[in-house]
Structure 1
């Protein structure tokens, strides 16, 4: 029972990827606020697509969420990180554009499982 609870409440590492890592910073802030309001322990941060390899090889990543502007990288990242079982998905364009942090957090948590 202890192991099951440990998995449910463990820290979630959610990485948002965009061209330079800047356009997602407001979305990260809104996701962090939503996580805090829901008592979800999550490390949520944005990186540039050029930093993905470095981050994935140096940190635990539970999910990669791609900004709509880098959605073309989805297949590449899925193939590259398949052996690490890291889900890769594009952020819903409406949620991204409207900066709906709660919706994007929900998407990330569903992908993590």
Structure 2
């Protein structure tokens, strides 16, 4: 099972994105676990996930997150601002899966 971490400032604003991604995964019959966490949980949480996507509002933290994730061979990127704003679960799921495959 693939595990995807979404990160925002407090872990709340990405909850709708998580829901839409999960709906897209069910439609595709994919086994994925998707969770949202706050930035303060990133360092501990990334160890249990295959990749992480940061919400656009904390894109300025990308370099720090990549530095934490690199020794663990985990990829971290930001969510496209348009996809985030439109809550496009399909595209965001595709983006996350591309980081894992």
Q: What interval of TM-score do these two structures reach, taking the shorter chain for normalisation?
A: over 0.9
Structure 2 gaps of 5+ residues are none
Aligned length: 101
Within the candidate set 88, 93, 101, 1:105 is matched to 93
Give per-residue Cα distances to partners, 1:37-78, cap 9 Å, x unaligned: 101100001000011112124xx2111100001111111111
Query: 2:9 and 2:64 mapped to 1: Cα distance?
Result: 15
Larger Rg: 1
1:87 is aligned to 75
Structure 1 gaps of 5+ residues are 1-10
TM-score in terms of structure 1 length: 0.86
1:19 aligns with 2:9: yes
- The alignment's C-alpha RMSD in Å is 0.8
1:51 aligns with 2:47: no
Runs of 4+ that moved beyond 4 A: none
TM-score in terms of structure 2 length: 0.96
